[in-house]
Amino acid sequence: MDKKTERLYLAAKELNREINSQASLARALNTSSQVIKNWESRGISHQGALKAQQMLGISATWIETGVGEMFFGQPETPIDPNVVQLDRKIRNIPVVSWVQAGNWQDVEELNPDDYEWVLALSKVSERAFALRVQGDSMQPEFTEGDIIIVDPEADFHSGSFVVVCQDNETTFKKLIYDGSRAMLKALNPIYGVLQMKDDAVICGVVKEKVKLY
């Protein structure tokens, strides 16, 4: 295998031990297994290294030369030990259907080959899932096709973006309170505000948006 691609695998696996094959690395970089196969024999392209830096935080310079720090932005000198460092663990998140989101199950029970996967850069629980935004009710912040990372175990409050199951439908709205009443607000002003019913279930809190091109 090409040395540059070996370094890419090494760093990606350090971020997430499940990135250990052509298929898993392809999912992590939102590309095809054929592209990864080409990199293994011919070497990763400069654009590929930049994409790994953008999506995974792996230094493009380190991938291409082996010089410097493995991760982009990592300080070359020790930082103040009193400063809290970010947990660099990145989690693979399955993109599920809106029907599945209303009755979610643990990731461990999934067949990986049945799902598209994205990487969450934010800190989320093992039960986190992803959804592809539909419609225009949450524009301009969220447009159709955007992917949102949803954590069922995250705390919610007024102003949180939440995925809610209500009247046997799963919807994505901003949670607000009118006195003691919980309301679901669309960001697009052409849509109204809904009152959240007593039997409604908050499936999770949106922690991150993934914009793919």
Q: What is the pLDDT of residue 86?
A: 43
Q: How far apart are CA 147 and CA 177, in angstroms?
A: 26
Better pLDDT: 212 or 140: 140
What mean pLDDT do residues 97-117 have? 75
Q: Are 78 and 97 in contact (CB under 8 A)?
A: no
Q: What is the pLDDT of residue 50?
A: 84
Domains and CATH numbers, the chain: 3-65 (1.10.260), 91-210 (2.10.109.10)
* Sole residue written with tokens 């995250």: 154
Q: How far apart are CA 68 and CA 161, in angstroms?
A: 39
Q: Given a cut of 70, is residue 108 above it in pLDDT?
A: no
pLDDT band at 56 (very low <50, low <70, confident <90, very high): confident
> If 0-12 CB within 10 Å is exposed, 13-18 middle and 19+ buried, where does residue 75 land?
exposed
pTM of the shown model: 0.60
Locate 113 and state its tokens. 């080959």
Q: What is the pLDDT of residues 61-70, one digit of tens each?
A: 889 998 888 8
Containing H/E element for 60?
helix 60-65
> If 0-12 CB within 10 Å is exposed, 13-18 middle and 19+ buried, where does residue 212 land?
exposed
Q: What is the pLDDT of residues 17-28, one digit of tens each?
A: 778 888 888 888
Q: Given a cut of 60, is residue 76 above it in pLDDT?
A: no
Q: How far apart are CA 86 and CA 203, in angstroms?
A: 27
